[in-house]
Amino acid sequence: MNDCLFCKIIKGEIPCHKVYEDNLTFAFLDIGPVSKGHTLIVPKQHADIMQAGSLDDALAIMTTTYQIAPAILKALGATGYNLGMNHGEDAGQDVFHTHLHFMPRYEGDARTFIKQKPSQEELAQVAQLIRQEL
Ligand code: AMP
Ligand code: ZN
């Protein structure tokens, strides 16, 4: 899928703030985070929506989530998290490459889903803090 944004990110053709990678999955910071450390966990194999991909890939993104969640919480001082997946246009999916949203939450968090616009420097710092815990 040459024109898929997330495939290009995975291949390194478009820059991202990478957090984690293994043979099946890739995780990077959302550029419009609803909370500090908002991370997208994606299968490397392209699929528009989860059911268009393999069950192995669907399970792999959850396995990665399970493995990296403690590091994200510890790195950023978060105390909880929301997981979300917009599955299909009517559900608000904008990027048609399966992705799981990991949204850290903090003590006293207003728990909104309003997208913020941190600077590239801020995102780079957050990604570095997370990578240091992995
Ligand atoms: P969804 O609405 O579930 O398809 O979410 C797509 C997410 O991708 C949104 O939260 C966007 O902020 C995020 N996004 C879009 N472009 C990029 C990018 N170049 N790097 C990181 N995240 C992105
Ligand atoms: Zn893709």
pTM beyond 0.85: the answer is yes
Q: What is the CATH number of the domain that holds 32?
A: 3.30.428.10
Identify the CA nearest to 41 among candidates 65, 22, 17.
Answer: 65
Q: How far is CA 43 from CA 24, 114, 124, in A?
A: 6, 25, 22
Q: How many distinct structural domains can be found in the chain?
A: 1
User: Domain of 27?
Assistant: 5-133
pLDDT (tens digit per residue) in 58-110:
999 999 999 999 999 999 999 999 999 999 999 999 999 999 999 999 999 99
Which position among 17, 46, 99, 101 bears the catalytic label? 99
Closest-CA residue, ligand 1 atom 15, reads 31
Q: Could you give the CA distance from residue 134 to residue 124 in angstroms, rounded to a whole number?
A: 16
Active site annotation includes 97: no
